[in-house]
Chain A
Amino acid sequence: QQQVKQSPQSLIVQKGGISIINCAYENTAFDYFPWYQQFPGKGPALLIAIRPDVSEKKEGRFTISFNKSAKQFSLHIMDSQPGDSATYFCAASKEGFKTIFGAGTRLFVKA
Chain B
Amino acid sequence: DTGVSQDPRHKITKRGQNVTFRCDPISEHNRLYWYRQTLGQGPEFLTYFQNEAQLEKSRLLSDRFSAERPKGSFSTLEIQRTEQGDSAMYLCASSPFGSEAFFGQGTRLTVV
Q: Is A32 in contact with chain B by the CB < 8 A criterion?
A: yes
Tell yes or no: A49 within 8 A of B by CB.
Answer: yes
On whether the beta carbons of B100 and A104 are closer than 8 Å, the reply is: no
Mostly, the A contact residues are strand
**Stretch from B12-20, B43-51, B73-81 at the A interface:** B43-51
What residues of A have a CB within 8 angstroms of the CB of B98 in the complex? 95-97
Interface residues on B, range: 20 to 34
Within 8 A of B (CB), among A53-111: 89, 91, 95-104
Bound-state Cα–Cα, A95 to B33, Å: 14
With A43-B103, A43-B105, A49-B100 as contacts: A98 and B33 at CB distance below 8 Å: yes
Q: CB < 8 Å: which of A42, A46, A91, A101 contacts B102?
A: A46
Residue positions of B touching A, CB distance < 8 A: 4, 31, 33, 40-45, 48, 56, 91, 93, 95, 97-106, 108
Please name the 8 residue pairs, one residue from A and one from B, whose CB atoms are nearest each other, closest first: A101-B42, A43-B103, A44-B103, A43-B105, A95-B98, A43-B106, A96-B98, A89-B42
Q: Are B99 and A96 in contact (CB under 8 A)?
A: yes
> Separation in Å of the B106 CB from the closest CB of chain A?
5
Known contacts A43-B103, A45-B103, A98 near B56 by CB under 8 Å: yes
Whole-angstrom distance between the Cβ of B57 and the nearest chain A Cβ: 11
B41 touches A103 (CB 8 A): yes
